[in-house]
Chain A
Amino acid sequence: NAGVMQNPRHLVRRRGQEARLRCSPMKGHSHVYWYRQLPEEGLKFMVYLQKENIIDESGMPKERFSAEFPKEGPSILRIQQVVRGDSAAYFCASSPRGYGGMGNIKLFFGSGTQLSVL
């Protein structure tokens, strides 16, 4: 009964390269959320996806960042032309249902991907 799986756990990129972070939700969960966490900070919401649809991307930078959750396969958070300021821990969470009484939703988080940009 695997939980939310994120890979890689650690990713090192040089400035200008692309970073791809993958997230496989828990079995039976069709809602995925991406958060970013800086040291000594809480989690900042980035994007909420349901299978094949972006529901809310209000927390995601307009440039260089994109996310998808295809019908088959994991959700992908893609950062193009990375800069040092992109260095952070990126967490994915999944839930069996989405917004609409979200207060009662239980989010299951993965262990995160630590992105380091040199």
Chain B
Amino acid sequence: TQLLEQSPQFLSIQEGENLTVYCNSSSVFSSLQWYRQEPGEGPVLLVTVVTGGEVKKLKRLTFQFGDARKDSSLHITAAQPGDTGLYLCAGTGGSEKLVFGKGTKLTVNP
């Protein structure tokens, strides 16, 4: 079974601060996706990374896929209260099923 470990589990910061959350595995994934989920709602896809070392930017969010395709990070610059939510990484490997990590619960305080 391929597992994705996300850290930290919880993160509370002030508006304007920068942060990085991590998604790690001992397995190689053919691709990784990042989702954001708000309370009472379903996850919304933010990005898909497929190439080792790939970096993608989405406004203030920067996503990186590790060279070995076993890990990924999400960096948020100048966090805003609207960034609050549960950030989930999900990967596909040999089984092709999308496997989710447990998520990082981010709170950005005004």
Contact = CB atoms under 8 A, between A and B. Distances in A.
Interface stretch (A11-19, A41-49, A69-77): A41-49
Contacts of B80: none
* Interface size of A as a range: 20 to 34
Interface string B32-62: 1100000011111100101000000000000
Interface in A8-64: 33, 35, 40-45, 48, 56, 58-59
Nearest to A6: B42
Contacts of B9: 40
Contacts, number: 65
B48 A104 contact: yes
B99 interface: yes
Interface of B: 4, 6, 9, 29-33, 40-45, 48, 50, 88, 90-92, 96-103, 105
B102 A42 contact: yes
B42 A93 contact: yes
Contact of B102 (A35, A41, A56, A107): A41
A110 B40 CA distance: 10
A42 B31 CA distance: 18
A107 B103 CA distance: 17
Most buried by B among A45, A93, A102: A102
A103 B101 contact: no
Contacts of B48: 103-104, 106
Given A103-B50, A103-B92, A104-B31, A45 B97 contact: yes
Contacts of B4: 42
A4 to B, nearest CB: 7
